[in-house]
Every structure is written in C-alpha cells, then in structure tokens.
Amino acid sequence: MENKELKSVVEALIFVSDKPFGINNIRDVVDNVPEAQVRQVIDELNAEYEQTGRSFIIQEVAGGFRMATRPEFASWLKSFYKSKVKERLTRPSLETLAIIAYKQPVTKPEIEAIRGVNTDGVITTLLERNLIKIAGRKDTPGRPLLYATTNEFLAHFGLGAISEMPKLPEVQQLIDAAPGPRLDITEEKNDTIQTA
C-alpha cells in the first residue's frame, strides 16, 4: 500500500475510534504493514497538523493512538465541556498512585509501610476512578489484595505505556549511599499472583 493511502487509512481509523486505537488493530486492517511504517505515517500526520495549524494532534496513550485537542484550546473547551474536565488528584492519591505504579502489583500494607499512614480511603477513591484495579491476591498470610494500575491510569497522565513513567534511578543510589544494609526498593517482583 502506498504511504499516502496508508496515512489516510490510519487517520480514518483513529478518527472514528472512541478509545485509543492500537497499532495491532491497524495491522489487522492493513495486512503486513510494519509497525515502524505505521508510526512513521502518524508522525507525518502530526507534522501536517502542526504545519496547517489544526486544533488537534494524534496522541499515543495506553498502547494506542487517539486524537486530542492541542493544549492552547483548553480554555475554550473547558468552558463548554465542563463534564470532561477531570478533577485533579489529591496529594495522597498521587503519592499512593506513584507507589502502586512503581511497585505493582503491591498490597495495601506495603503501600502503607512507605507512606506511613492509613491508605484505605485513598485506595477506594482510586478504584472508583478506575485508576487502579485489583490484580489478584498475594500468597502470604491473610492473602491480601494486590493492586495494579489500569489503562485509564496511563490515559490520565498521557502515558503510552507504564515504561514511559519518569524513572526513579536516584532513589536506589540514595538508598545505597545510606549507612546500613542495602535496601532494595524493587524487591518482591516474582511473587506468585493468583487471579481473584
């Protein structure tokens, strides 16, 4: 398929979709098109939008692509689409989400050990807002629930994948520099997880 045609097809697919359109979905429609080529045409589309002064871009979130308006139009859109304006997350919510995002799957006691405060209410709020989900139970006494982030979480922060999270490298270095035995914050990744 010609690049020009592919570009239009990709644009049409993303335009219609009501949730981020995955690269694999594009490849289902257009046989044997390499991922790199799809990404290339999307880059080209974004460059064209920029040049021609369009009000939107194609954004990569949660493993797919969707059209979103440019930030400079936010003030106009906010006044009309009031219901679309998402409430800001509170400090405790952000802290808890950060811990879950970096350490998932993680239990409530593990989160509370880091934050030093009770986290019940925050977890309920995050579950209600669909930013986290229950990812099973940990095989330790009491079989506590494990929490993990959702695609909604990625979309809320405009991340394409969890790997795009800002890195936490300094943490490990700082802890290594501390007196006393080494503390590994990336521990317990291989726990047995059972689906709930």
Partner 1 sequence: MYKVKLEEFEGPLDLLLFLIKKDEIDIYDIPIAMVTEQYLQYLELMELMDLDIAGEFLVMAATLMHIKSKMLLPPEERSPEEAEEEDPRAELVKRLIEYKAFKEAASSLQSLESRQRDLFHRPGDMDAVEVECNGEKFFEASLFDLISAFSTVFANVSKEAFLEVIKEQVTVEQKVHDILHLLVDKPSFALKDLFDSSKSKIEMVVVFLALLELMKIHSIMAVQKELFGEIQIIRNPAVIEPTKV
Part in contact with partner 1 (CB under 8 A); list of ranges 29-37, 39-47, 135-143, 165-173: 165-173
**Structural contact between residues 148 and 132, judged by C-beta atoms closer than 8 angstroms:** yes
CB of 84 to partner 1, least distance (A): 6
Which residues lie below 8 Å from residue 39, measured CB to CB, with a gap of 6+? 23
Residues in 60-119 that interact with partner 1 by CB under 8 A: 62, 66-71, 73-74, 77, 81, 84-86, 88-89, 91-92, 94-95, 97-99, 101-102, 114-118
Instruction: Provide the 10 A C-beta neighbour count for residue 67.
Output: 19
What's the first-to-final CA gap in the chain, in angstroms? 45
Which residues lie below 8 Å from residue 92, measured CB to CB, with a gap of 6+? 115, 117, 119, 122
> For 76, what's the count of Cα atoms within 13 Å in the CB-facing half-sphere?
6
Q: Which two tokens stand for residue 91?
A: 């400090």
Q: Does 161 bind partner 1 (CB under 8 A)?
A: no
Q: Does 44 bind partner 1 (CB under 8 A)?
A: no
CB of 67 to partner 1, least distance (A): 6
Judged by CB, which is closer to partner 1: 5, or 176? 176
Judged by CB, which is closer to partner 1: 19, or 143? 19
Phi, psi of 117 (to 5 degrees): -140, 165
Q: List residues binding partner 1 (CB under 8 A).
A: 17-20, 59, 62, 66-71, 73-74, 77, 81, 84-86, 88-89, 91-92, 94-95, 97-99, 101-102, 114-118, 130, 133, 150-152, 154-159, 166, 168, 170-171, 174-175, 177-181, 183, 185
